Amino acid sequence: MRGRILLAACVLALLATSSNAGDPSHKPISPAKQVKQMQRGVNIVGYDPLWRNAAEARFKPRHFELLKQAGFNAVRIVLPIGPFVKPGEALPDSWFGTLDGLVKDALAQDLTVILDDHDYWICGKDAEECRTRVLAFWKQAAEHYKDAPNKVVFEILNEPNGAMDAGWNALLAEALNVIRQTNPSRNVIVGPAFWNNVGWLDKLELPKDDQHLIVTVHYYLPMKFTHQGAIWTPEYKDVSGVTWGTPEDYAAIDKDFDAVQKWAKKNRRPILLGEFGAYDKAPEESRVKYTAAVARAAEKRGWAWSYWQFDRDFIVYDIDKDRWVEPIRDALVPKNAR
């Protein structure tokens, strides 16, 4: 009996593999084509209660449909892993069950899904704990999603910083090696240290023989404008009333993005602007101008982008009132682009 059960399991596995063999959604896709598909994205669920109790979820499956209707093409699922597992331990099945539901509902709307390890705060404090956690997570997650469609993309670590700045290139290589054992041709997102800073691209070291990489940068400059009133930034928490929109402000974006584009062309790597935005304490008119300017500057250079974020601070959708923050939505995706 045990032999027949094992044989049946092997046959089912073989059939599953064969059924995907001719499916375009399971074939390798170039990073450049993936970036073109991503186009316009938004960060979701990082601070949603659903990770602890699905019954308390703020983000619902219908929100994926709303995102698609509004002209978005991708979601970056912000994964808070640290609070749910000790270093090196396996994540509970219930955690993966929650994530599986999100992935399934996003794919049902034909959205590209970025799985983002968002443990940057742990990594900024303790490089060795960071290494243990990142490698343990990707060993599990890569195995778990090895048969997922090519619209599921991995992002090794959000905003390496602090204690991890010096060792980031080494950890990046280790984590990529873990992922490639089960996902040899899935596109993987990586970015520079120092918070994925645009000025640190020249310090980023990538394996030349891995052609399934997308490079990400984040952009919140100038911080005095984008983070005014943000309680987690001591330097700017008491700042208010800072506006944005002078010719010099627009020129600063072009200067920074031109430098990124120059690096991208030299290294032949496509770019994802993984986070950008202005905190909702900033004057709304300036916030709208800034959001539109950054999005258009990224699009002009052929990058994909992912706005920070759907709900909560930097808000584009007010879940409590069940409505879009229309000025920000329209700044991201103009009506003629939907």
- Cα-to-chain-centroid distance, residue 229: 25
Cα dihedral sign, 15-20-23-27: negative
**pLDDT of 228 higher than 70:** yes
pLDDT value, residue 11: 33
pLDDT value, residue 80: 86
CB 190, CB 180: distance < 8 Å: no
* 33 three-state secondary structure: helix
**Tokens of residue 229, six digits:** 């009133």
Residue 262 phi/psi, 5-degree rounding, is: -60, -45
**Tokens of residue 28, six digits:** 């390798």
pLDDT value, residue 17: 43
Q: Which of 3-12, 21-30, 67-76, 285-294 has the lowest mean pLDDT?
A: 3-12
DSSP 167-216: THHHHHHHHHHHHHTT-TTS-EEE--HHHHBGGGGGG----TT---EEEE
- The number of C-alpha atoms within 13 Å of 140 and in the hemisphere containing its C-beta is 19
- The number of C-alpha atoms within 13 Å of 314 and in the hemisphere containing its C-beta is 22
Mean pLDDT of 303-328: 96
113, β-bridge pairs: 75, 152
Q: Which of 80-84, 98-102, 202-206, 283-287 has the lowest mean pLDDT?
A: 80-84
pLDDT value, residue 298: 98
Domain boundaries, the chain: 30-333
Q: Going by DSSP bridges, is the β-strand pair 317-318/323-324 parallel, antiparallel, or unpaired? A: antiparallel
- Cα-to-chain-centroid distance, residue 40: 12
The Cα 235–Cα 153 span in angstroms is: 35
Could you give the residue ranges of the DSSP H alpha helices within the chain?
Answer: 2-21, 31-38, 61-69, 93-108, 120-123, 127-144, 168-180, 193-196, 223-226, 247-267, 284-300, 326-332
* 163 three-state secondary structure: helix
**Tokens of residue 298, six digits:** 């990224």
**Tokens of residue 164, six digits:** 């991890």
Residue 44 phi/psi, 5-degree rounding, is: -135, 155
CA-wise closest residue to 289 among 245, 255, 325: 245
The Cα 177–Cα 198 span in angstroms is: 25
pTM value is 0.92
pLDDT in tens, 85-143: 887 788 989 999 999 999 999 999 999 999 999 999 999 999 999 999 999 999 999 99
The Cα 30–Cα 35 span in angstroms is: 9
pLDDT value, residue 88: 75
**pLDDT of 2 higher than 60:** no
> Which CATH number applies to 30-333: 3.30.300.20, 3.40.50.1370, 3.20.20.140, 3.20.20.80?
3.20.20.80
The Cα 76–Cα 151 span in angstroms is: 12
**pLDDT of 263 higher than 90:** yes
Which amino acid belongs to residue 282? A
The Cα 278–Cα 245 span in angstroms is: 13
